[in-house]
Structure 1
Amino acid sequence: MPHPTRRHLLCGAAAIALVAALPAVADGHGPLKVAGIYTVPVEQQWVSRIHKAAEAAAARGDIEYTFTENVANTDYPRVMREYAEQGMDMIVGEVFGAEAEAREVAADYPDTAFLMGSSFKEDAALPNFAVFDNYIQDAAYLSGIIAGSMSESGNIGMVGGFPIPEVNRLMHAFMAGVREMKPEATFQVSFIGSWFDPPKAKETAFAMIENGADVMYAERFGVSDAAQERGILAIGNVIDTQADYPETVVASAIWHFEPTLDAAIAAVKAGEFTAADYGRYSFMDRGGSSLAPLGTFEGKVPQAALDLVAEREAAIKAGDFAVDINDDEPTSS
């Protein structure tokens, strides 16, 4: 197995507070030493948002940040141990494919804070291991409203990575949004069994387009390429790719990891980091998600959809409307 790629980034200090277990780090003096461990390239949608937030925290002097990308699930525990042995104050990453092993490592390093993307919940018996997930169902729902208004056939294609909760809930929210404008809409749903395989996602999308889909939900890279080549529309997920597909990507549900990471940094600095679920920081009312600007599609989306998006977004932020969180695997209509 080749040694994982390493890249590095350093900076300076600051912070505030949140929950309870680890000792205060250097009494607030100096930046936290933070390591990121990622199973895919940092350019991949989901991981890019964590990486971006960490770079921002490093740039303002709150943390010193280093990371390893392209780590196989089987190698993940070893890399966790390496960083813990190096004296990292906090390790952030995603353990969807190594849940049990990652928690075993965390138990061996009680003075290290672990903030991990996970399909499971926190465990009070493991106080230094907190979980998060991208709960951006609010923005996914709003993007669905736009998709429904832009589809002529009501036939929507949806290509995902794996049918795990963090993907399923976004798909269901998107579908609920589509039905606001197209109650009789039908959906083609498929999972490619990979977090990063653009060619496979593209081929899957082509098949759906051949089967009548006129709007694609691009949960994975490669889907928007297929939509662009076939001259249909796409809806983005986690990041805004409209600049790369100006005539294709109408809207995107954006994940902002900064609220999650900043809360964890504050907790570690205050000596109050403990087992907790940080998923709530991805909600729209916490600034953890948003709908990307329409950009090149300004003036092209039906006003009825824009009015409903504005109404629902205001209600979500005010706590008067809640998007359903459904983690069950979605299926084709």
Structure 2
Amino acid sequence: MPIRHSSRSVSGFSRRTVLKAAGAGSALSAVAGLPTRLFAQEPVKVAAIYTVPVEQQWVSRIHKAANAAKERGDIEYVFSENTSNNDYERVMREYAEAGNKLIIGEVFGVEDAARGVAKDYPDVAFLMGSSFKPDDAVPNFAVFDNYIQDASYLSGIVAGAMTRSKSIGMVGGYPIPEVNRLMHAFMAGVKEVAPDTKFQVAFIGSWFDPPKAKETAFAQIDAGADVMYAERFGVSDAAKEKGVLAIGNVIDTQADYPETVVASALWHFEPTLDKAIAEVKAGSFKAADYGVYSFMKEGGCSLAPLGSFEAKVPEEAKKLVAEKEKAIKDGSFTVEINDAEPKSS
């Protein structure tokens, strides 16, 4: 029995309906015999494939950027969510066959299969979240990752100023480069203001398991952590229940935890996606590493406003954050990118 996956489009139609409509449109163009270059200014047909719900932190930022491009009229946008790794290749092929010119997603568990699909559709641009580098042998397959170490570093400065126990808990999904580098940057920021801080590091082996993340956070709080690095959903819930603080990752959840989430390192996928759309429209899309568009100097990340904690974070820490942010943007200071698995200390 085939594995089923949930799929939705922003217009509310099912993916199957969208694909049929797209196929019909392609057929009409073929009958009319009109060259595609005449429609260069029409919206680019974009499809996204997500292995988790669009509410999940990382994917939600891609989804947000795609919707913004759709609202501007730059793209048409359909997507599938909760697509299993076993089903990923099939969905990629369906979207390619439907005439989509740019397919985005995350292929951390299906690297070889995804690149194989790209080889079979050389006229389709693929922009995929990946821990690996682009390969000239697959010239239409570009990679990206959330290189938001700049914002993570700044959030660490805030955390270092707020911890009293000098023990910080960190709960991540998997120890892969995209997670590791953010944790290391956060820890470096903490040590700028609290060099004697110790860290409890744990990975739950899932991208979306809030109950497991919550239980792991409980254990770290019971062991003395008074600030939690919430790389996964569920950690801030534990912090709220235990009356400790949390630092967010990728999205800003302070509105949901106004007395718990002090600061968050935000990822902005818009620069990455907008660059890809421009390249597709210009016919110049190629194998490249789009990770640089997540850097702070490119507008790809930022520290969320302190909001309800504005008056609670020490002025010295806020001043240091401002100084470091300026230095990061003007290039006089570079946050180290360390992809090695972080360890407890």
TM-score by length of 1: 0.95
Cα deviation per residue 1:29-67 (whole Å; 9 max; x = unaligned)? 310100000000000000000000000000010000000
Q: Distance in 1 between matches of 2:104 and 2:38?
A: 20
Aligned partner of 1:64: which letter? E
> Match of 1:259, SS?
helix
Q: Is the 8 A contact 2:3 2:87 kept in 1?
A: no
Taking the TM superposition and a 5 Å limit, the aligned residue runs for 1:188-199 are: 188-199=200-211
1:9 corresponds to: 10
2:62 aligned with 1:45, yes or no?
A: no
2:308 to 273, 277, 296: 296
1:19 corresponds to: none
Q: Is the 8 A contact 1:24 1:269 kept in 2?
A: no
Q: Distance in 2 between matches of 1:29 and 1:186?
A: 54
Q: CA deviation at 1:5?
A: 1.8
Taking the TM superposition and a 5 Å limit, the aligned residue runs for 1:1-333 are: 1-9=2-10, 26-333=38-345
**Which structure's CA Rg is the greater one?**
2
Q: Distance in 1 between matches of 2:8 and 2:167?
A: 43
> Match of 2:153, SS?
helix
1:20 corresponds to: none
Q: Distance in 1 between matches of 2:38 and 2:56?
A: 34
Change in CA separation of 1:62 and 1:331 when aligned onto 2, cut-off 3 Å: same
Q: Distance in 1 between matches of 2:64 and 2:36?
A: 25
1:15 corresponds to: none
Aligned partner of 1:6: which letter? S
Between the two proteins, the alignment pairs up a number of residues equal to 321
Q: CA deviation at 1:304?
A: 1.0
Cα deviation per residue 1:249-271 (whole Å; 9 max; x = unaligned)? 00000000000000000000000
> Match of 1:187, SS?
strand
Q: Is the 8 A contact 2:271 2:298 kept in 1?
A: yes
Aligned partner of 1:273: which letter? F
User: Structure 2 stretches of 5 or more lacking a match?
Assistant: 12-34
Aligned partner of 1:323: which letter? V
> Match of 1:310, SS?
helix
Change in CA separation of 1:236 and 1:210 when aligned onto 2, cut-off 3 Å: same
Where relative contact order (Cα < 8 A, 6+ residues apart) is larger, the structure is 1
Aligned partner of 1:119: which letter? S
Change in CA separation of 1:130 and 1:25 when aligned onto 2, cut-off 3 Å: farther
Q: Is the 8 A contact 1:199 1:222 kept in 2?
A: yes
> Match of 1:168, SS?
helix
Q: Is the 8 A contact 1:9 1:64 kept in 2?
A: no
Tell me which stretches of 4 or more aligned residues in structure 1 moved more than 6 Å. Answer: none
Change in CA separation of 1:311 and 1:81 when aligned onto 2, cut-off 3 Å: same
Q: Is the 8 A contact 2:7 2:82 kept in 1?
A: no
> Match of 1:324, SS?
coil
Aligned partner of 1:211: which letter? A
Q: CA deviation at 1:8?
A: 1.7
Q: Distance in 2 between matches of 1:24 and 1:50?
A: 27
> Match of 2:146, SS?
coil
Aligned partner of 1:111: which letter? D
